[in-house]
Amino acid sequence: RTAMGSDGVMMTNPGDVDADVLILAGVPIGEPVAAQGTWVMNSQLELDQATNDYNAGRFGIPWPHTLPDADWRQLVTGSSRAKR
């Protein structure tokens, strides 16, 4: 399946399963970039602090990565019927 957005971005999913995609774009902000895994911050110090916060449980409610899509959507939208 192929989809063309109004901005000219074309994406193709050759698989048999639908995919959720989030594309973000913006004007460059001229700040330094430091990346580690899936995290992006402005410095190694900020990455270290984020790691410490994550390990201390200060990154919000953990969610099970094995939830089916429908249950995950309920969880992130705040539905009380979500499996936790």
Q: What are the pLDDT digits (tens) for 64-76? A: 677 788 887 887 7
| Spatial contact of 72 and 81, defined as CB atoms under 8 Å apart | no
CB proximity list for 64: less than 8 A, separation 6 or greater: 83, 84
pTM: 0.47
- pLDDT of 40: 93
| Tens-digit pLDDT profile for residues 18-66 | 888 887 888 989 999 999 988 899 999 999 999 999 888 888 776 667 7
| Spatial contact of 50 and 62, defined as CB atoms under 8 Å apart | no
Which is more confident, 80 or 22? 22
H-run or E-run covering 10: strand 10-12
